Amino acid sequence: MNQSPTRPSRNGQSSHRIMFYSHDTFGLGHLRRSRALATALTQGDETASAIILTGSPVAGRFTFPERVDHIRLPGVTKLADGSYVSQTLGLDIDEITALRSGLIKTAIEKYEPDLLIVDKEPSGFRGELLPSLEWLRDHGTTKTVLGLRDVLDEPTVLAAEWSRKNAVEATEEFYDEIWVYGDHDIYDPTKGLALSDETRSRMHWTGYLRRETTDEVDLPEHPYVLITPGGGGDGAAMVSLVLEAYEKDPDLAPNAVLIYGPFLSGDTREAFDARVEKLNGRVTAVGFDSRIEALFVGAEGVVCMGGYNTFCEVLSFDKRAVIVPRTVPRLEQWIRASRAEELGLVRMLDENRDGMTADAMIAAIRHLPHQNKPSQAGSDGILDGLKVVIERGTALMDAAK
């Protein structure tokens, strides 16, 4: 590889440049995880800067810390038949993928990152990252990391998906390290994948990513349960069930604060707003709050889906939680929630075991005060993810100089 000159920073020290790739065709999970990692890697190093490449349509609604910026890639939308189209540009999927791929490669060539952290997809959306990975292999000194959340999917489904995408080959060829943002004793996201022993030797289990809040938010004066379906795009069933519980039981307490998420909108949102209005303040609702961490801090308990970021917040703020996991198109949330319940960290509302009924939700909310907090099951010991990321990231960037 060609050696690029060390870049001076403002104070004369060599600077660290970090780039994140987050394909983000749906939801908030990838962007929020990349934002948390970028914040951690730049906060303790005044020479460091970071850019997040993201396809999230709501990236502009987030605030980013000093020395962290983002580049919005043209968005794609997944249709009901599973195919993808351009979100706004009227291009077919091959055209939009080629455009995104070119933008990614140009950004990498111009920014010359010391560290590239790729979220979840080894070759990117439809292979759009491969030209950049090949260029880095042949021309740069950039260190590359594949970051995986704690659970991807059930092993047989994941193995078939990675085989179809040639993701195992990309992982083996292009990545210096693999970071798993979880705990090996809870779950191994690579279970079922045909990774070589040599590649597995480059895996590092970081632990979960601790969340903190520095924003000041006006919180409700009365006790409340926080209801969050994450991004909201697949959360309508859970939201409806919570509303039905408060409708059926006029004595259900405490009151609820509902955050729809930016992707729960349109007629569905309007219908929910009408139901909320009839509950006369027992449930209040807002569309989206990028400072949701502060609402976690003030909550008596949480009813949520089982996404990775929400799970990290439940652990970080030590909140009694009822998780209502989705089971399609992936079993990821169900696997995470069931393992967490086995360990005593949360309670899961399981469709087959408990039934998705108003009575089941009423019982779950009423039982919240009697649950153990995650800390009582040892959650503090699995929240060192950001500390490990800083250690590993700094070591790799120093080696890239």
Of 166 and 139, the structure prediction assigns the larger pLDDT to: 166
pLDDT, one tens digit per residue, over 336-356 is 999 999 999 999 999 999 999
**How far apart are alpha carbons 152 and 307 in whole angstroms?**
11
pLDDT at 13: 56
Residue 176 sits in the same domain as residue 79: yes
- Determine contact, residues 186/340, Cβ cutoff 8 Å: yes
Alpha-carbon span 16 to 9, nearest angstrom: 9
Between 223 and 401, name the one with better pLDDT. Answer: 223
Closest CA relative to residue 103, chosen from 131, 123, 84: 131
Instruction: Dump pLDDT digits (tens) for 193-211.
Output: 999 999 999 999 999 999 9
Q: Does residue 26 sit within a domain?
A: yes
Question: How many structural domains does the chain have?
Answer: 2
Give the pLDDT band (50/70/90) at residue 233: confident
Q: Do 285 and 272 share a domain, yes or no?
A: yes
Please indicate, yes or no, whether residues 142 and 176 belong to a single structural domain of this protein: yes
Same domain, yes or no: 138 and 116: yes
Instruction: Domain of residue 163: give its range.
Output: 16-210+384-400
- For 80-89, the pLDDT digits (tens) are 666 778 888 8
Q: Give the Cα separation of 10 and 284 in Å (integer).
A: 48
In a domain, 69, yes or no: yes
Is 155 within the bounds of a domain?
yes
Same domain, 122 and 44: yes
Cβ contact 219:294 at 8 Å: yes
Decide if pLDDT at 265 tops 90: no
Q: Is residue 134 part of a domain?
A: yes
Nearest CA-CA partner of 339 in 182, 229, 204, 206:
182
DSSP state string for 80-128: TTS-EEESSS---HHHHHHHHHHHHHHHHHHH--SEEEEES-TT-GGGT
The reported pLDDT for the residue numbered 372 is 94
Task: Tell me, yes or no, whether 215 lies in a domain.
Answer: no
Six-digit token string for 6 = 């060390």
For residue 28, pLDDT beyond 80:
no
Task: Name the band, by pLDDT with cuts 50, 70 and 90, for residue 264.
Answer: confident
- Range scoring the smallest mean pLDDT among 111-120, 126-135, 205-214, 381-390: 205-214
pLDDT (average), residues 212-220: 75
Domain holding 375: CATH number?
A: 3.40.50.2000
Do both 174 and 323 map to the same domain? no
My answer on whether 248 and 349 are in the same domain is yes
**pLDDT reported for residue 161:** 95
Query: Which pLDDT score is estimated for 10?
Result: 42
Residue 175 lies in a domain: yes
What pLDDT shows up at residue 140? Answer: 77
pLDDT of the residue at 214: 63
pLDDT for residue 109 is more than 50: yes
Q: How many beta carbons lie within 10 A of that of residue 226, not counting itself? A: 24
Query: Is the pLDDT assigned to residue 101 strictly greater than 80?
Result: yes
pLDDT number for residue 82: 61
In terms of domains, do 376 and 388 share one?
no
**Residue 220 to residues 14, 283, 357, Cα–Cα distance (Å):** 46, 11, 28
In this predicted model, what pLDDT tens digit does every residue of 30-72 receive, in sequence order?
Answer: 888 999 999 999 997 888 999 999 988 888 878 898 999 999 9
Domain annotation covers residue 79: yes
